[in-house]
């Protein structure tokens, strides 16, 4: 089976998942993002890379935050940006996902940024679009959220450059988390030697250890001597019911407090993909504390998304270059 | 019409024939095997040199999508697909729209399929009204209208009281119950085997335990009620073990596996291939091996196509939203042959599982070429390869996980009642 | 060894180290108050680093600032060639507004790199003036842009590629090779 994310020369064609991407590509994205971090500090926060290109944010699942960061990233690359919340328009009229995509292709969209509640939606669209169009997965069901995974490793690299020496804990609802899956794949590919997941059994998927992680059910044991604590968001609808008895009990057992954080290394950093549930998965004193890098994550998220879009939109040499025809 | 099929290799599991023998047909019946009867003058001769002659295939589950879902498939297209695949008798589950829970609907279906003069159709009636698992259907009436057994299709009966009564009532009249073993609460919203692949792809899983739990319930109640049970589409190693033990204990039970599950595992989902969205889900290599072993030792009685044509639009959706099912009537023979070659089985053993054995399960006279039986048969080239692709399929459903694969086993002729209903175009 | 049909051969190339001294001399008169030196990656940055030493005195005297540019994000051939796998952040830590900027590049060719560098500079602010100092002008300009300061003029054919390279001992040298793809 061919990797749908890479073209015949092994270059990035779509960004659908971290899984299956070689270390070379991950590093290319991270290094390119490094150059984009500075762009935001200039008087003109823009580079002309995607001038004349149309980026279409196709959000079948609402997320103001993710949509906004993709919009800013595309605009800083000088692209024209259209954002559609499809859940509220055509889907209710019986139009299929691919109908919606075809309509936007007819309007000459060059890139789709897709978020959907179902795993595999971005793959479906990537399989459908013509070769010159690129697809970026902005989150599909429980499957993948590759730019979030990349911005998380980018943030870690900024504070803890020696990735091959790190011990990292991911805490919370791994079962439903596309963020956790993306983080795990990114960290393993980049050679982080020890990745832990800490959660009750109801919030861990079957055979999660096959993803290359160590499983802990106890915060005291799991946080011991880690360099990075990555907290996951707990969705409201899962705070009480058959998954968990209550958000209070969850906070007591798995919420990150200053006391629990003391078990990690003294210079450990705390991360969260946002939006946070203060007092459920994380205590405010930790979220706003000096070990927290939650806001830098947001800043770096824009640079990562710029890097991904810049690499994708410029990677058309096989389709648009006349070099082959001239030979 | 008198037909002489000459120079072919005859396989008839029922009569244990595996030999180069001619077949003679008159007035829709087999009149002789081997030597022509006195005074037989054929008005049509089929040269079957290098070809295999076998009883028409019997399929325990093929959805024809009528009534109700004609945009997915139509009777004519699917019955043409059946005979193109060498299938001359098939049972269809009751999950049509409306559900097959009224004698009038069954009579209509029987009548309409008979009119086509292609494969014989044996409907399975709904076990409970609307398949809701609450009130029993009129089993005797439905039987009189043509139902050969009663099924819940993919819908579980959650109320064990109702399941118990349904088995008791069916056992009273000797009807067979066709049940899928899947515990509905554990399987709720599940779309793939709960294992490594579902975890990786973020798909909601259906644990193997869902099959084991449902089986335990069904087997225990069957033991009490002495009902005759057929388990449809077994999928797990544990399930195979449970059936094996139940048979050893003398329960009146049979079961089948779909040709898909004999060849595929969860890993074939690859990058969300919606063609692999099947019910029950594709499971692990270990489960696949156990299903194959179950067929070899007789625990599993038959292989079926589980033909479930789905229109293209319904598959063009994210994995979980893509409709369940795959086309299968035209793949039953080649997939069975492929399995037989891989397991080093001879043709006689393999063909039994798609002719005589399913006919026994259904309690119909079919799947044999005894003198005086109906001349329903199939002539195929076991060594001719063909590529699975939409153009090669008669079925209106073009979706299958095997698309693009080259399979051996090409049907050349299919006869029903001594009439050539399919001949491979030249 | 690549075939070489041009009127210049490797043996005829001048020493980059000698040219660097010439360049430093020629830049000196341009240095004044409110001036900044900006090297263009990669060759221009190496030259800048050397010039900071060679021109130490006037640089201290006039408080001359410096920075680097990687013009990858501003190139006009991005849609054909994509983004290079390697690119470094531009570093302009001083106020560009109203500065006299001297851009430093190794080889001046079509003028497209200079255009990209000017566009990028303007995204940092509005400079008082921009001049260009190049080690070599190899001919072949495609835009109305010319260097104010050049250490040498060497005319080359389109198929030849002239590059500044940094050797293991950090000394600089010119390298010439043949290539058939598009201009860079």
CA C63 – CA B147 distance, rounded (Å) = 99
- CB distance A144–B200 less than 8 Å? no
Tally of domains within chain B: 2
Structure ipTM: 0.91
Q: Which residues of A touch B202 (CB under 8 A)?
A: 119, 140-144, 178, 181
What is the three-class DSSP state of A278?
A: strand
Q: Is the pLDDT of residue A287 over 80?
A: yes
Shortest distance between the Cα of A63 and any Cα of chain C, in A, equals 29
The rounded Cα A275 to chain-centroid distance in angstroms is 13
Task: Please give the average per-residue pLDDT across B3-10, as a whole number.
Answer: 97
- What is the pLDDT, as a whole number, of residue C24? 96
Proportion of chain B above pLDDT 90, given as a percent: 97
**Alpha-carbon dihedral B76, B81, B86, B90, rounded to 10 degrees:** -60
Residues on C contacting A at a C-beta cutoff of 8 Å: 70, 72-74, 78-83, 85-92, 96, 119-120, 122-125, 181-182
Query: What distance in Å separates residue A76's CA from the closest CA in chain B?
Result: 31
CB B405 within 8 A of CB B330: no
pLDDT more than 70, % of chain C: 92
B395 part of a folded domain: no
Nearest CB partner across the interface for A316, out of C79, C85, C90? C79
Q: Which fold has domain A146-293?
A: Rossmann fold (3.40.50)
Listed in sequence order, the residues at least 6 apart from A89 whose beta carbon sits closer than 8 Å to its beta carbon are none
**What tens digit of pLDDT does each residue of A226-260 get?**
999 999 999 887 877 889 999 999 999 999 999 99
Q: What is the pLDDT of residue B218?
A: 98
C151, pLDDT greater than 50:
yes
Asked if B213 and B238 count as a contact pair (C-beta separation under 8 A), the reply is no
Euclidean distance between CA atoms A108 and B320, whole angstroms: 29
Indicate the domain borders of chain C: 10-75+88-178
pLDDT category of residue A318 using cuts at 50, 70 and 90: very low
Q: Does domain C10-75+88-178 have CATH number 2.60.120.380?
A: no
* pLDDT confidence of residue A325: 32
**Which pair of structure tokens corresponds to residue C34?**
């409110």
Token pair belonging to B125 = 């009636």
Is A178 among the residues known to form the active site? no
Q: Tell me what the mean pLDDT of segment A291-299 comes to.
A: 97
Say yes or no: B39 and B74 in one domain: no
pTM of the model: 0.89
Determine, yes or no, domain membership for B367. Answer: no
What average pLDDT does this structure show over A48-52? 92
> Does A164 qualify as catalytic in the annotation?
no
Looking at CA atoms only, how far is residue C98 from chain A in angstroms? 14
The β-bridge relationship of strands B419-423 and B406-416 is antiparallel
DSSP secondary structure letter of residue A242: S
In a domain, B412, yes or no: yes
Query: How is residue B181 written in tokens?
Result: 């073993």
pLDDT of residue B273: 96
With a CB cutoff of 8 Å and minimum separation 6, the contacts of B226 are B171, B252
**B95 in the same domain as B18:** no
Catalytic residue among A13, A14, A53, A66: A66
CA B175 from chain centre, in angstroms, equals: 19
Instruction: Name the average pLDDT for chain B.
Output: 96
Which are the contacts of C71, defined by CB distance < 8 A and separation ≥ 6? C40, C41, C113, C116, C117, C120
Task: Select from B272, B285, B312, B321 the residue whose CB has the most chain A CBs within 10 Å, as the one to mutate to test that interface.
Answer: B272
Q: Are B295 and B222 contained in the same domain?
A: yes
Under DSSP, the state recorded for C14 is P
Cβ <8 Å between C124 and A43: yes
| B contacts of A211 (beta carbons < 8 Å) | 199-200
Q: Specify whether B20 is located in the same domain as B151.
A: no
Buried b (16+ CB within 10 A) or exposed e, A123-150: bbbbbebeeebbbbbbbbbbbbbbbbbb
Quote the CA–CA distance of B278 and A62 in Å, as a whole number.
30
Q: Which domain holds residue B9?
A: 2-53+374-385+408-423
In this predicted structure, the answer to whether residue C30 has a pLDDT above a threshold of 90 is yes
Cα distance between residue C42 and residue C19, in whole Å: 17
Here the CATH number for the domain that contains residue B37 is 2.30.40.10
Longest CA–CA span in chain A (Å) reads: 69
CB contact under 8 A, C73 and A316: no
Provide mean pLDDT across the span B84-112.
96
> What residues of B are annotated to the active site?
306
Looking at CA atoms only, how far is residue A324 from chain C in angstroms? 11
Cross-chain CB nearest to B318 (options A19, A121, A205) = A121
Asked if A47's CB is within 8 angstroms of C120's CB, the reply is: yes
Q: Pull the structure tokens for residue B365.
A: 């006279």
The residue to which tokens 């043949």 are assigned:
C178
Which H or E run includes A177?
none
Asked whether residue B93 falls in the same domain as residue B6, the answer is no
Q: What is the pLDDT of residue B210?
A: 98
Least trusted range by pLDDT, from A55-64, A172-181, B144-153, B369-378: A55-64
Q: What are phi and psi of B78, to 5 degrees?
A: -75, -30
DSSP codes of every residue in C59-72: HHHTT-EEEEE-GG
Using only C-alpha atoms, chain C has a radius of gyration, in whole angstroms, of 16
- Whether residue C7 is predicted with pLDDT greater than 70 in this model: the reply is no
* pLDDT higher than threshold 60 for residue A224: yes
Residues A208 and A175: their CA atoms lie apart, in Å, by 9
Asked whether residue B21 is assigned to any structural domain, the reply reads yes
Q: Does residue A10 register a pLDDT over 80?
A: yes
Do B82 and B111 lie in one domain? The reply is yes
Domain assignment present for B403 = no
- Of A41-45, B153-157, B397-401, C94-98, give the lowest mean pLDDT range: A41-45
Which pLDDT does position A320 carry in this prediction? 38
Sheet holding A134-140, edge to edge: A80-85, A54-59, A111-116, A134-140
Q: What are phi and psi of C103, to 5 degrees?
A: -80, 140
| Contact yes or no for A35 and C89 at CB 8 A | yes
Q: What is the pLDDT of residues B313-340, one digit of tens each?
A: 899 999 999 999 999 999 999 999 999 9
CATH topology of domain A23-144+299-317: Rossmann fold (3.40.50)
- Is residue B298 one of the residues assigned to a domain? yes
Q: What percent of chain A has pLDDT over 70?
A: 93
Our answer on whether C and B touch (3+ beta-carbon pairs < 8 Å) is no
**Mutation site, A13, A60, A97, A120, interface B, largest B CB count within 10 A:** A120
CB B408 within 8 A of CB B339: no
Q: Are B12 and B54 in contact (CB under 8 A)?
A: yes
In a domain, B399, yes or no: no
Side-chain half-sphere CA neighbours of C5 within 13 A: 5
Token couple for C122: 């303007």
Q: How far is residue A47's CA from residue B408's CA, in Å, rounded to a whole number?
A: 58
Report d(CA C113, CA B151) in Å as an integer.
75
What's the pLDDT tens digit per position in B18-69? 999 999 999 999 999 999 999 999 999 999 999 999 999 999 999 999 888 7
- Per-domain boundaries in chain A: 23-144+299-317, 146-293
Q: What's chain A's average pLDDT? A: 91
What are the distances in angstroms from CA A22 to CA A12, B172, C76?
Answer: 10, 64, 29
Catalytic residue among A67, A134, A145, A176: A145
Long-range contacts for A127-133 (Cβ within 8 Å, ≥24 apart)?
A: A127/A4, A128/A98, A128/A101, A128/B316, A129/A101, A129/A105, A130/A105, A131/A319, A132/A316, A132/A319, A132/A320, A133/A105, A133/A109
Domain A146-293 in the same topology as domain A23-144+299-317: yes
Pick from C83, C125, C182: CB nearest A310: C83
pLDDT value of residue A88: 56
């Amino acid at each position: 089976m061919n990797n749908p994310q890479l073209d015949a020369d092994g270059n990035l064609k779509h960004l659908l998942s971290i899984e299956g991407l070689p270390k070379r590509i991950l590093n290319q994205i991270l290094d390119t993002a490094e150059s984009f971090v500075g762009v935001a500090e200039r008087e003109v926060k823009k580079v002309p890379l995607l001038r004349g290109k149309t980026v279409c944010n196709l959000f079948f699942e609402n997320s103001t935050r993710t949509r906004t960061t993709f919009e800013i990233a595309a605009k800083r690359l000088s692209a024209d940006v259209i954002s559609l919340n499809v859940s509220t328009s055509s889907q209710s009229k019986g139009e299929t996902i691919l109908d919606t995509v075809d309509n936007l292709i007819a309007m000459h969209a060059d890139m789709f940024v897709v978020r959907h509640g179902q795993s595999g939606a971005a793959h479906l669209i990537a399989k459908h679009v013509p070769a010159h169009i690129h697809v970026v997965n902005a989150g599909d069901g429980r499957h993948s959220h590759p730019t979030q995974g990349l911005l998380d490793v980018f943030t870690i690299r900024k504070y803890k450059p020696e990735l091959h020496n790190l011990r990292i804990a991911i805490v919370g609802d791994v079962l439903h988390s596309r963020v956790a899956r993306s983080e795990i794949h990114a960290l393993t590919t980049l050679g982080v030697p020890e990745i832990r997941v800490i959660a009750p059994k109801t919030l861990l998927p079957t055979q999660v250890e096959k993803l290359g992680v160590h499983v802990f059910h106890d915060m005291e044991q799991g946080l011991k001597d880690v360099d990075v604590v990555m907290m996951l968001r707990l969705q409201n609808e899962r705070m009480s019911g058959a998954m968990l008895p209550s958000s209070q009990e969850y906070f007591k057992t798995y919420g990150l407090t200053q006391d629990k954080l003391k078990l990690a290394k003294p210079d450990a950093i705390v991360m969260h993909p946002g939006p946070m549930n203060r007092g459920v998965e994380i205590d405010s004193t930790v979220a706003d504390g000096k070990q927290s890098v939650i806001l830098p994550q947001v800043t770096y998220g824009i640079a990562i998304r710029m890097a991904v879009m810049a690499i994708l939109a410029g990677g058309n040499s096989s389709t648009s270059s006349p070099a082959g025809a001239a030979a | 019409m008198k037909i002489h099929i000459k120079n072919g290799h005859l396989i008839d599991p029922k009569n244990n024939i595996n030999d180069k023998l001619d077949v003679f047909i008159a007035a829709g019946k087999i009149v002789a095997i081997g030597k022509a009867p006195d005074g037989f003058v054929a008005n049509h001769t089929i040269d079957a040199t290098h070809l295999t002659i076998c009883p028409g295939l019997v399929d325990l589950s093929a959805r024809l999508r009528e009534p109700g879902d004609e945009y997915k498939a139509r009777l004519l297209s699917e019955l043409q697909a059946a005979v193109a695949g060498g299938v001359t008798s098939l049972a269809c589950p009751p999950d049509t729209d409306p559900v097959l829970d009224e004698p009038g609907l069954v009579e209509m279906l029987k009548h309409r399929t008979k009119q086509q003069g292609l494969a014989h159709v044996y409907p399975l009636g709904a076990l409970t009204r609307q398949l809701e698992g609450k009130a029993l259907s009129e089993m005797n009436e439905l039987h009189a209208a043509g139902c050969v057994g009663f099924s819940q299709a993919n819908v579980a009966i959650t109320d064990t009281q109702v399941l118990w009564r349904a088995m008791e009532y069916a056992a009273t009249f000797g009807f067979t119950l066709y049940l899928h073993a899947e515990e509905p609460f554990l399987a709720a919203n599940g779309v793939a085997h709960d294992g490594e692949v579902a975890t990786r792809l973020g798909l909601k899983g259906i644990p193997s335990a869902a099959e084991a739990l449902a089986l335990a319930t069904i087997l225990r109640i069957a033991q009490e009620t002495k009902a005759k049970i057929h388990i449809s589409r077994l999928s797990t190693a544990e399930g195979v073990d449970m059936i094996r033990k139940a048979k050893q204990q003398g329960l009146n039970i049979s079961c089948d596996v779909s040709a898909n599950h004999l060849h595929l595992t969860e890993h074939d989902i690859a990058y969300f291939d919606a063609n692999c969205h099947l019910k029950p889900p594709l499971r692990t290599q270990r489960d696949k091996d156990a299903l194959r072993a179950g067929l070899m030792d007789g625990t599993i009685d038959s292989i079926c196509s589980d033909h479930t044509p789905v229109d293209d639009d319904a598959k063009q959706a994210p994995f979980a939203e893509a409709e369940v099912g795959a086309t299968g009537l035209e793949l039953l023979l080649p997939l069975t042959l492929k399995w037989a070659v891989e397991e080093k089985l001879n043709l006689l053993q393999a063909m039994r599982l798609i002719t005589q054995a399913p006919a026994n399960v259904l309690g119909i006279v079919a799947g044999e070429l005894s003198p005086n039986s109906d001349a329903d048969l199939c002539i195929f080239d076991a060594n001719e390869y063909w590529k699975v692709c939409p153009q090669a399929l008669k079925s209106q459903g073009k979706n299958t996980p095997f698309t693009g694969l080259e399979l051996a086993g090409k049907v050349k002729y299919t006869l029903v009642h001594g009439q050539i209903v399919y001949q491979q175009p030249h | 060894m690549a075939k070489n049909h041009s009127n210049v051969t490797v043996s005829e190339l001048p020493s980059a180290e000698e040219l660097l001294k010439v360049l430093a001399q020629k830049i000196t008169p341009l240095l004044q108050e409110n001036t900044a030196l900006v090297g263009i990656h990669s060759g221009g940055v190496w030259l800048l680093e050397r010039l900071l030493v060679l021109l130490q005195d006037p640089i201290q005297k006039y408080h001359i600032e410096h920075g680097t540019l990687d013009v990858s994000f501003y190139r006009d051939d991005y849609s054909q060639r994509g983004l290079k796998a390697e690119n470094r952040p531009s570093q302009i830590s001083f106020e560009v507004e109203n500065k006299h900027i001297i851009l430093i590049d190794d080889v001046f060719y079509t003028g497209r790199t200079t255009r990209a560098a000017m566009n990028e500079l303007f995204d940092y602010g509005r400079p008082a003036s921009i001049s260009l100092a190049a080690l070599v002008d190899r001919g072949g300009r495609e835009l109305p842009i010319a260097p104010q300061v050049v250490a040498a003029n060497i005319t080359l054919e389109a198929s030849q590629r002239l590059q500044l390279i940094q050797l293991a001992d950090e000394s600089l040298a010119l390298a010439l090779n043949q290539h058939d793809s598009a201009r860079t």
